[in-house]
Amino acid sequence: MFLNELNYPVDRIKGIGTETLKDLKNLGILDIKSLLKHYPIRWEDRLTSSPISSGKSTGFVNTLVKVIEHSYIGFGSKKTLKVLVQDKTGYLSLICFGRNFLEKKLPIGEYFYIYGSNIQYKFSELQCSSFEFEKYIPDTEPKQFNKLLPIYKLSGKLTQHNLRKFIYSSLVLYGEHVTTELPRSILDKYNLIDKNRALEYIHFPMDHKILSIAKKTLIYEELFHLQLITGKKVINRDVKPKTKKQLSTKLQERLINKLPFDLTKDQKAAIEDIIRDLNSTKRMNRLVQGDVGSGKTLVALLSAIPIIESGGQVALMAPTELLAKQHSEKAYELLHSVGIRTAFISGNIKSSSRKILLTELEQGNIDLIIGTHALFTQDVIYKKLDLIIVDEQHRFGVKQRMSLKDKGDNPDILLMTATPIPRTLTLTLFGDLDVSTIKTMPVGRKPIETHLSRIGNEEKVYDFIFKELIKGRQVYFVYPLIEQSEKMNLKDAQSMYENLQKIFSSYKVALIHSKVSEEDKENSMNDFNSGKIDILVATSVVEVGVDVPNATVMVIEHAERFGLSALHQLRGRVGRGNHQSYCFLIYSNLLTDDGKKRLMTMKNTNDGFIISQEDLKLRGPGDIAGIKQSGFMQFSIANLVRDIDIIELAREDAFKLLKDDPGLLSQENSSLRELYSVAPPFSSNFITLG
């Protein structure tokens, strides 16, 4: 649809000068098509009449009035015009703060449409100081009334009025160039309308019904494109088959037998799923999702073994250096006894050591390499990269993930996440993804006891901690800030580190946060791991992956400032062994409703699946689990939670269309064909993963 004229720069529209252009640019509006895609954030209902008599209870009016009287309140320069108006149901005083000039614009005896909000009963009368009006002219359609008025996101000096004008002009001038992308059969199936009409009605709807059809059309179209792109990827994945393998699992089984515990039922099932994928001709694209501490990392490491046994290499990418380091230590511990050669790569390694490491990797002398995005810098070359494991995948940008894939010849991909999301959402976000879920927790794990505590009651928490420390257990303290901030009156890790050293003077306390050098971080972590340190004071750097089974208490101060999934991840640092563990969420007095809900959810459940559902409800998908940070999904109108049903329909339709007409060659699909021959639509807006 959006070709040619629709790509004209937006200043083709009359009235858009340099200043306005800047403001529009800030909203991402550069050309006609992006102007047309700047959909209203809401519509003000100036269609449904709300007479004056209803104002007292509803707080607003939308009615036709006659001006009855002018008067002034106050004196001198501070006097304020009061305009008394009347409709069929009663009187209303319009208080014109700073707008005494309205005396001329609202002459006595004339009729006006009035839209007023914040109506209050004061001084024995109904008053309104926030209102808009338009002169009533018989037999003429009003400009701003009797309709659903679009309200847009603004920037700088832009006004609603101007933006409406620009959008209206662009619809009049260029609307005819907008072509319908969706096949006619789909429009008919769901009673959707042509794209140009949908755009017209989304901005300037005559009534609620047409608005709802326009919305449905545009939402469906957006999701349909997303699914079409996903579908194409699936086809491409199948186009390049791997050779069928019969990987040996001997070494893997040997290691499993050596473990001091049995794998859980779900761990076993996940490993079986992975082996089946690795052996098949289809490239693996599997997500292992499991709650914190459910044993995903172990599953991933065990899954790497058959690939390595067959002569392939494996790369494991973690989101933070701390986590990568920890994984590499675990991997070494687990795998070196069977002769598997593991290595850790980081951006901080000295160039001479790096050179050696890279040569070893290129020659195939390293079987499993673990690191952060340092794994795919240009000079990293693999001899035979067959499997990529990505931990906490949502924390990576798409580009990072893609460049790793290019390091091998169609390598298998295993993603891991401790932030489970609903299946439809997973499919949408990650394309054609197979999912293994680890729900069963290792035997002996006890649910973590979570206590909420208001700031000021820390003494009790400290008393409790003393008891745990005496038993030989270890403790985390987490703070939202690294250092003191003048702007925010919050406790910070640095000052509390000093304080806690005094309070727990016979115990060893360490501090880690993102500003601590990698070396110091590593030393502290090692010492905490080995039990040399009793108390670790930190920021949310310990959120992911840190695994110290002897730690039994997690204290999070200013807990209301953390998101649900962060709280859950942090809490998941304890309860990783057989000891009963505890989490104390200390909150300040300033609790918002959402903050309260988050804390209550944490208190009431340990189940990461329930928590992520709550998170989704409270924050919406855009914010969840770093999806926004990874920058791959920005919808203009669709909403992944609200529109879940449409996502499923669009997926079915898009996949069917690709199956029936993979080349988009039929007449009915010609718009789509044309569109995709230039560039996938919205490609700058979203890319799916996988």
Ligand X SMILES: Nc1ncnc2c1ncn2[C@@H]1O[C@H](COP(=O)(O)OP(=O)(O)OP(=O)(O)O)[C@@H](O)[C@H]1O
CB of 557 closer than 8 Å to CB of 477: yes
DSSP one-letter code for 152: -
When the beta carbons of 165 and 268 are compared against ligand X, the nearer one is 268
Smallest gap, in angstroms, from Cβ of residue 552 to ligand X?
14
Residue 540 — φ and ψ, nearest 5°?
-75, 10
Contacts of 480 (CB under 8 A, 6+ apart): 490, 492, 539, 540, 557, 558, 561, 562
**Alpha carbon 608 to chain centroid, angstroms:** 17
List the structure tokens of 279: 């052996």
Smallest gap, in angstroms, from Cβ of residue 264 to ligand X?
5
Smallest gap, in angstroms, from Cβ of residue 53 to ligand X?
60
Smallest gap, in angstroms, from Cβ of residue 419 to ligand X?
9
When the beta carbons of 408 and 572 are compared against ligand X, the nearer one is 572
Smallest gap, in angstroms, from Cβ of residue 497 to ligand X?
24
**Alpha carbon 508 to chain centroid, angstroms:** 38
Token pair 């340092």 is found at: 374
Residue 436 — φ and ψ, nearest 5°?
-115, 130
**Alpha carbon 90 to chain centroid, angstroms:** 49
- Report the side by side order of strands in the sheet with 90-96: 120-122, 125-128, 90-96, 80-87, 61-73, 111-117, 130-135
| 554 three-state secondary structure | strand
Q: Cα–Cα distance between 120 and 134 in angstroms, integer?
A: 22
Smallest gap, in angstroms, from Cβ of residue 299 to ligand X?
7
Alpha-carbon dihedral angle through residues 261, 267, 269, 272, given to the nearest 10 degrees: -90
Smallest gap, in angstroms, from Cβ of residue 289 to ligand X?
10
Smallest gap, in angstroms, from Cβ of residue 287 to ligand X?
13
Smallest gap, in angstroms, from Cβ of residue 498 to ligand X?
29
When the beta carbons of 411 and 420 are compared against ligand X, the nearer one is 420
When the beta carbons of 203 and 327 are compared against ligand X, the nearer one is 327
Interaxial angle between packed helices 644-660 and 208-239, expressed in degrees from 0 to 180 and rounded to the nearest 10: 50
Amino acid identity of 22? K
Closest CA to 447 of 295, 342, 595, 293: 293
Smallest gap, in angstroms, from Cβ of residue 267 to ligand X?
6
Smallest gap, in angstroms, from Cβ of residue 310 to ligand X?
24
When the beta carbons of 391 and 643 are compared against ligand X, the nearer one is 391
When the beta carbons of 309 and 547 are compared against ligand X, the nearer one is 547
When the beta carbons of 296 and 521 are compared against ligand X, the nearer one is 296
When the beta carbons of 295 and 371 are compared against ligand X, the nearer one is 295
When the beta carbons of 419 and 630 are compared against ligand X, the nearer one is 419
When the beta carbons of 218 and 292 are compared against ligand X, the nearer one is 292
When the beta carbons of 217 and 297 are compared against ligand X, the nearer one is 297
Residues that bind ligand X (CB under 6 A): 261, 263-264, 267, 290, 292-298, 418, 442, 545, 547, 549, 572, 576
When the beta carbons of 358 and 413 are compared against ligand X, the nearer one is 413
- Report the side by side order of strands in the sheet with 412-417: 342-345, 368-371, 313-317, 385-391, 412-417, 285-290, 434-438
List the structure tokens of 503: 């309070």
- Angle 575-371-240 from CA coordinates, rounded to 5°: 110
DSSP one-letter code for 559: G
List the structure tokens of 326: 């920890």
121 class by beta-carbon count within 10 Å (0-12 exposed, 13-18 middle, 19+ buried): exposed
When the beta carbons of 52 and 292 are compared against ligand X, the nearer one is 292
What is the helix (H) or strand (E) element at residue 653, kind and residue range? helix 644-660
| 89 three-state secondary structure | coil
Contacts of 659 (CB under 8 A, 6+ apart): none
Amino acid identity of 73? I
Smallest gap, in angstroms, from Cβ of residue 390 to ligand X?
13
Smallest gap, in angstroms, from Cβ of residue 263 to ligand X?
5
Q: Which residues pair with 125 in a beta bridge?
A: 122
Total residues belonging to the chain:
690
